[in-house]
Chains A and B, each alone.
Chain A
């Protein structure tokens, strides 16, 4: 069973735009943490970091061309880490 080889739905322009967004998001994150430390920094991290990762997954790693199976796989992996950290916090977060 083969799949068509050239299915590059994104052009080079899109890739560069994604890169620019990633750098901009990084700068934003650094700025928030530098100039509004404490809770804004934490919120910014929890929003920006997954967003950056999502951009890499979706565009650079061609997740938007993949079928449901692989997308669910990634979701399962991410959910696993999140759940592990969450349950750990029942111990460490409440000490």
Chain B
């Protein structure tokens, strides 16, 4: 049973694209195919002039370095401090020796501090261990780590699903603002339709592995939502 079927998408180099749909419909798979955390069985993915599905080894790593990712469960290295986690974003450009001795180049350290402040954490957080942070704080660090890569694209796999409603809004707001500020497109996989409507420039609705809606948030009607999610009850 293929998870994804006949996906053909063109994501522009600006703005926030939200992928919505019920659980199990392949949203996460779609996102993870892009940076090859999941291997697509067929097809092509073109990014910055190269087909990602054909890359191996060093080329694949270089491509991944250009794609930042934010995860549902933050996926920070718990025992590392905030600043070490943010500096993970530089690992594609830093030698193992430097990483081991934690002697990162000063410009990178400066930028890490800037990003920590930009995501709304004050400097005191830099030396705190990741496992001492709240969910919202951890996700902010995750965003900082992704942006540290100076990426050409940011992927976010259900970034708000583990957060409470208020923090979800704050995090979405932060991501949208920072990405727009740096001119980086984001593809977000999200199940909260309201958040999608609020922050996305383009919404892609998936159902059973296929794209069933593709357009601006204003164009998303209840009928479309029914096609995507099926069933009347949850529409209220």
A binds B: no
